[in-house]
Copies of this chain bind each other. A is one copy, B any other.
Amino acid sequence: MRRIKLTVAYDGTNYAGYQVQPNGNTVQAEIETVLARMHRQPVKIVASGRTDAGVHALGQVIHFDTSLQMPAERFVKALNAMLPDDIHVKQAEEADALFHARYGAKRKEYRYYIRKTEDPFRRHYAATVTYTLNLESMCQAMKLLVGTHDFTSFSVTKAEVEDRVRTIYETEVLEVDDEIIFRFVGSGFLYNQVRIMVGTVIEIGRGKYEPADIAQMLEARDRRMAGITAPPHGLYLWNVNYEKVD
């Protein structure tokens, strides 16, 4: 058995998310179905993390074990030939037996796209925000999210007790034509964290909160203190990095 690492892009529009669920198509199910056909037996895949319904990926990372005798690169063509055309394997590499797509992830980048004007061609790929936004305030707010914080206020409350401390290494606000892009690079993100951070930053851009309020929101450890959850279709899992961070 050898371990294969895949880098996968998908348009999340028509999926009920990444992870296999009782009802609804998922990206995981599509890939596992194709691998099972190739292997003539079930093959389990492990991803760096799940993505929600409607959320996209440009660089989701997945691993699986195989006994097939073919060069790793060959999995790219073989899988793409059988996968639906909204899922695309970009790369397949030989991985170390100890490589783990989920536990080995050191750094993840997410990007969130918003548009100032409606565009029928971007309706599934960017969230439209027609309010006037103060870019300077949003940049300030984004900077205040950098660092090691307890992000309880920026995550969906779950029953289980868990460590909600995460590190954000870098944030950035980019403007390209009619769109604004929020970049987040971090050690990992809690469930809905990026969407709540973006929703909050947008509300700061509208003037509902001040940039400095971010500090109190983090302090409060209470979901109700942060802003709204931005819709899923503007969000992209951009890449996952497995190298040690200095």
Q: Is the CB of B119 within 8 A of A88?
A: yes
What's the Cα separation between A9 and B117 when bound, in Å? Answer: 13
Q: Is the CB of A121 within 8 A of B56?
A: yes
Interface residues of A in 112-133 (CB under 8 A from B): 118-121, 123, 125
A193 within 8 A of B: no
Q: What 0/1 readout, one digit per residue, does chain A (60-96) give for beta carbons within 8 Å of chain B?
A: 0000000000000000000010000111100000000
Q: Is the CB of A118 within 8 A of B56?
A: no
- What bracket does the count of chain A residues touching chain B fall in? 10 to 19
A residues in contact (CB < 8 Å) with B = 9-11, 56, 80, 85-88, 118-121, 123, 125
Instruction: Please give, as numbers and ranges, the residues of chain B lying within 8 Å of A119 by CB-CB distance.
Output: 9, 88
The smallest beta-carbon distance between A6 and chain B, in angstroms, is 14
Instruction: Please give, as numbers and ranges, the residues of chain B lying within 8 Å of A11 by CB-CB distance.
Output: 120-121, 123
The smallest beta-carbon distance between A133 and chain B, in angstroms, is 20
What's the Cα separation between A87 and B11 when bound, in Å? Answer: 21
What's the Cα separation between A164 and B9 when bound, in Å? Answer: 45
Can you show 17 pairs from A to B with CB atoms below 8 A apart?
Answer: A9-B119, A9-B120, A9-B121, A10-B120, A11-B120, A11-B123, A80-B118, A85-B118, A85-B120, A85-B123, A86-B120, A86-B123, A87-B120, A88-B118, A88-B119, A88-B120, A121-B125
Q: Name the CB-closest residue of B to A87.
A: B120
Among A10, A11, A119, A120, the most chain B Cβ lie within 10 Å of the Cβ of A120
Q: Name the CB-closest residue of B to A85.
A: B123
